[in-house]
Amino acid sequence: MTKKYTIIFTSALLVLSSSSCKKFLEQVPDQRTQLNTVEKVSEILATAYTQADYATFTEAASDNAEDKGVNVGNLNPTNQNPYQWQDVDSRDTGTPTFFWNASYAAIAAANAALDAIAKAPDQTPYLPYKGEALVARAYAHFMLALLYAKVYEPNGANDSPGIPYVTTPEKVVFQQYDRGTVASTYEKIEKDLLEGLPLIKNSVYRVPKYHFNQAAAYAFAARFYLFKQQYDKVIQYATSAFPGNSFAANIRPWSTKYYDASANEMEIMFTQAAENSNLLLTEAPSGWARNYSFFRYAMGLYLNTEQSQPNVTGTTFSGRKMYNYGVPNYSYLKFKELFIRSSPNANIGIPYTIMPQFTADELLLNRAEAYASTGKYTEALADLNTFASTRIRNYDAASQSITLAKVADFYGTDDPEAGLIQTALDFKKSEFIQEGLRWFDLIRLKIPVVHNIKAVNNTDTYVTLPADDPRRLFQLPSEVALSGVPLNPR
């Protein structure tokens, strides 16, 4: 009986195969989506942005974090290891390994789009997406270079290892890569950025804030050239982002709209696309929104006190409300978690956090620093006063505006350039607390980082991360050695 049915089945298969073999052989063996339309290319570019947060580890490593105390706050290796400047073994969200892998996944998407565009018979309708892909690829590599390679040294050799700059789709397992040098990495970033930026068109996006729109691309260019200390270009690109110098209407309204908002409204507004200040937003599987106020190593009593001290304006940034979850857990309520359940009735899922990559606020302060660095003190003061005016409740320009005399007195310096730069840096440190951005100024300017370590009896000892300490470079994932990529020295 078995033999009979086997013969019948085989005979039927032979008959079927004779009529379908040709059709089968005509099918593309790789069943993945073929990027053969403008729409498909635009869709894959939605994944050309690193879906990971860096704030979890850069904030903890910076001087915008403190040890709140033994048995105070949540103790988690993803927070504790960076605070102690130790390599993070975890591969969870919010770790250097997760960020590295997510960044190269984003780069792969950009490369797939560029490869498809290069093969298109008519590239004209693809050009805005080519611009997006090039700038997105440049940005992902730039962030990798900042986190895992030595900082760029203007007029220096920059011959230390960079990061692998990937420009073609991967087609083999464990493809071999070379880290190149910091110099070659920055050259490739700049090439992609300058080629892609003129091609970007806001009109092709339904929600431009989730793509490299023109303002976001200019903001990226300004940050890139700030690291290269090409200050005229910082000014050029920052100004291009807001023609007519409309920064005042586009930076965060801390002392007005935000001040009057409820806690829930504040969390929603801060990362929504409708917020003028947000220039580029990305989503990330991340527990940052639920954890950043409660980690043991984060903003606590000391930093909260620092935030409430008078600054160079002669007063405090009273328009920014601090939320107290119980001493020493404080928050500015900048993030709201989006929890995606694994199924409609499930109690498990993945938390997501929307992360601002570029804002008008950072761009304005970057321009202020660039103005100060080129001797344009009047312009630097104007930018700093624009910024301060939206942070002080019931701002009075007559008594609270920043002047060179106030800068000299507050910082104890007769050097207006140094004083104005320090003002911009202090404003950035305060503004971007709980966002992870402070780390990039620390590495860019080689500022030592001091952390307190609390004992059981609540006494403090202090440790310092020097300017040239190798631990200022986060460690690469161990498996990259399979592709010939050396790890950072320890």
Q: Is the pLDDT of residue 9 over 90?
A: no
Mean pLDDT of the chain: 93
Q: Is the pLDDT of residue 248 over 70?
A: yes
pLDDT for 33 equals 66
Q: Which of 15-19, 168-172, 322-326 has the lowest mean pLDDT?
A: 15-19
| Centroid of chain to Cα 237 | 19
Q: Could you tell me whether strands 330-331 and 323-324 are parallel, antiparallel, or unpaired per DSSP bridges?
A: antiparallel
Q: Is the pLDDT of residue 470 over 80?
A: yes
pLDDT for 348 equals 92
Q: What is the pLDDT of residues 75-104, one digit of tens each?
A: 999 999 999 999 999 999 999 999 999 999
- How far apart (Å, rounded) are the C-alpha atoms in residues 63 and 84? 12
The tokens of 381 are what? 């003061």
Band (pLDDT 50/70/90 cuts) for residue 8 is: very low
Band (pLDDT 50/70/90 cuts) for residue 174 is: low
- How far apart (Å, rounded) are the C-alpha atoms in residues 131 and 358? 18
Q: What is the pLDDT of residues 249-272, one digit of tens each?
A: 999 999 999 999 999 999 999 999
Q: What is the mean pLDDT of residues 404-415?
A: 98
CA dihedral of 305, 441, 63, 93, whole degrees rounded to 10 = 110
Q: What is the pLDDT of residues 121-157, one digit of tens each?
A: 999 999 999 999 999 999 999 999 999 999 999 999 9
pLDDT for 342 equals 84
Q: Is the pLDDT of residue 6 over 70?
A: no
Q: What is the pLDDT of residues 37-83, one digit of tens each?
A: 999 999 999 999 999 999 999 999 999 999 999 999 999 999 999 99
The size of the chain, in residues, is 490
The yes/no answer on whether domain 35-483 falls in CATH 3.40.50.10540 is: no
Band (pLDDT 50/70/90 cuts) for residue 2 is: very low
Band (pLDDT 50/70/90 cuts) for residue 432 is: very high
Q: What percent of the chain has pLDDT over 90?
A: 90
Cα 477–Cα 465–Cα 220 angle in degrees, nearest 5: 60
Strands in 338-341's sheet, in edge-to-edge order, are: 278-285, 349-359, 338-341
HEC secondary structure over the chain: CHHHHHHHHHHHHHHHHHHHHHHHHCCCCCCCCCCCCHHHHHHHHHHCCCCCCCHHHHHHHCCCCEECCCCCCECCHHHHHHHCCCCCCCCCCCCHHHHHHHHHHHHHHHHHHHHHHHHCCCCHHHHHHHHHHHHHHHHHHHHHHHHHCCCCCCCCCCCCECCCCCCCCCCCCCCCCCCCEHHHHHHHHHHHHHHHHHHCCHHHCCCHHHCCCHHHHHHHHHHHHHHCCCHHHHHHHHHHHCCCCHHHHCCCCHHHHHCCCCHHHHHHHHCCCCCCCEEEEEEEECCHHHHCCCECEECCHHHHHHHCCCCCCCCCCCCCCCEECCCCCEECCCCCCEEEECCCCCCCEEEEEEEEEEEHHHHHHHHHHHHHHCCCHHHHHHHHHHHHHCCCCCCCHHHHCCCHHHHHHHHCCCCHHHHHHHHHHHHHHHHCCCCCCHHHHHHHCCCCEEEEEECCCCCEEEEEECCCCHHHCCCCCHHHHHHCCCCCCC
Q: What is the mean pLDDT of residues 189-197?
A: 98
Q: What is the pLDDT of residues 229-241, one digit of tens each?
A: 999 999 999 999 9
pLDDT for 173 equals 63
**Cα four-point dihedral sign 482, 483, 486, 490:** negative
Q: Is the pLDDT of residue 14 over 80?
A: no
Residue 212 CB partners (closer than 8 Å, separation 6+): 131, 132, 135, 136, 139, 196, 200, 220, 280
Q: Which of 17-31, 98-112, 138-152 has the lowest mean pLDDT?
A: 17-31
Q: What is the mean pLDDT of residues 445-472?
A: 97
pLDDT for 170 equals 81
Q: Is the pLDDT of residue 293 over 80?
A: yes
Q: What is the pLDDT of residues 269-290, one digit of tens each?
A: 999 999 999 999 999 999 999 9
Q: Is the pLDDT of residue 13 over 50?
A: no
pLDDT for 292 equals 97
